[in-house]
Homo-oligomer: A and B are copies of this chain.
Amino acid sequence: MKKITIGPMTLLYPKPALLIGANVDGKPNFMTVAWAGIVNQSPPMLSVAIRRERYTYRGIEENQTFSVNIPSEDQVTETDYCGLVSGKKNNKVSDCGFTVFYGKLKTAPLIEQCPVNLECRLAQKVELKTHVLCIGQIEEVHINENCLTNGKPDVEKVRPLEFASGVEYAYFGLGAKLAPAYQVGKKLIDGKKGLTKKN
């Protein structure tokens, strides 16, 4: 297959579509991000890249806490909306009809409608050029009871959104289960033992 070089760009697949929450001047606000990921196993930590001029960022600095809310396919309109407008001029909670609740950290607003909610304490900030990488320690996880299978979170019940560039930027759903992890690759180990042959 012929390869083309297209220059440096922020290309990565898949990226999540998440709603980051913070109290700004005591009121809950949410912004949409796609630039987030897990960064540490123990203690559990994640990172979220945010432009420092964002309204939500002010709230993170104010309280040193934030939330990560994982929307399902049912919240695709609200998720997009929270990325289109600023909390400086809009009350996104009422515009989206979100029911907000608080957990262990008291100041990280959580969205009832999102099936998964993570409460984070700001652990470290990494100042990059256009963005600040907010590293949060995950202090508590809330999940809809109906998104568990045998007591564990089940992605097929959460039905998260994926934000990606196709013909246009769009939200995609979860696709088909292709193979079990930590298992399908064993075929190649067996192959080395001569049980199967890899070309």
Q: Which residues of A contact B (CB under 8 A)?
A: 1-16, 18, 34-47, 49, 68, 70, 73, 76-85, 95-97, 103-104, 112, 115-118, 124, 126, 128-131, 133, 135, 137-146, 148-150, 152-156, 158, 160-189, 191-192, 198-199
Contacts and interface: CB of A to CB of B under 8 A. Distances in A.
A49 B172 CA distance: 25
B47 A39 contact: yes
Copies in the complex: 2
B138 A185 contact: no
Nearest to A191: B95
A137 to B, nearest CB: 8
Nearest to A160: B13
Contact of A12 (B42, B70, B95, B177): B70
A114 to B, nearest CB: 10
A84 B182 contact: yes
Closest 8 pairs (CB-CB, A-B): A80-B185, A173-B175, A81-B185, A37-B37, A13-B160, A169-B181, A155-B164, A175-B175
A69 B21 CA distance: 32
Contacts of A85: 189
Given A13-B160, A182-B80, A49 B40 contact: yes
Contacts of A183: 80
A83 B185 contact: yes
Contacts of A112: 1, 3
Contacts of A149: 166-167
A39 B36 CA distance: 8
A30 B83 CA distance: 35
Contacts of A155: 13-14, 164-166, 172
A97 B10 contact: no
Contacts of A143: 3-4, 6, 11
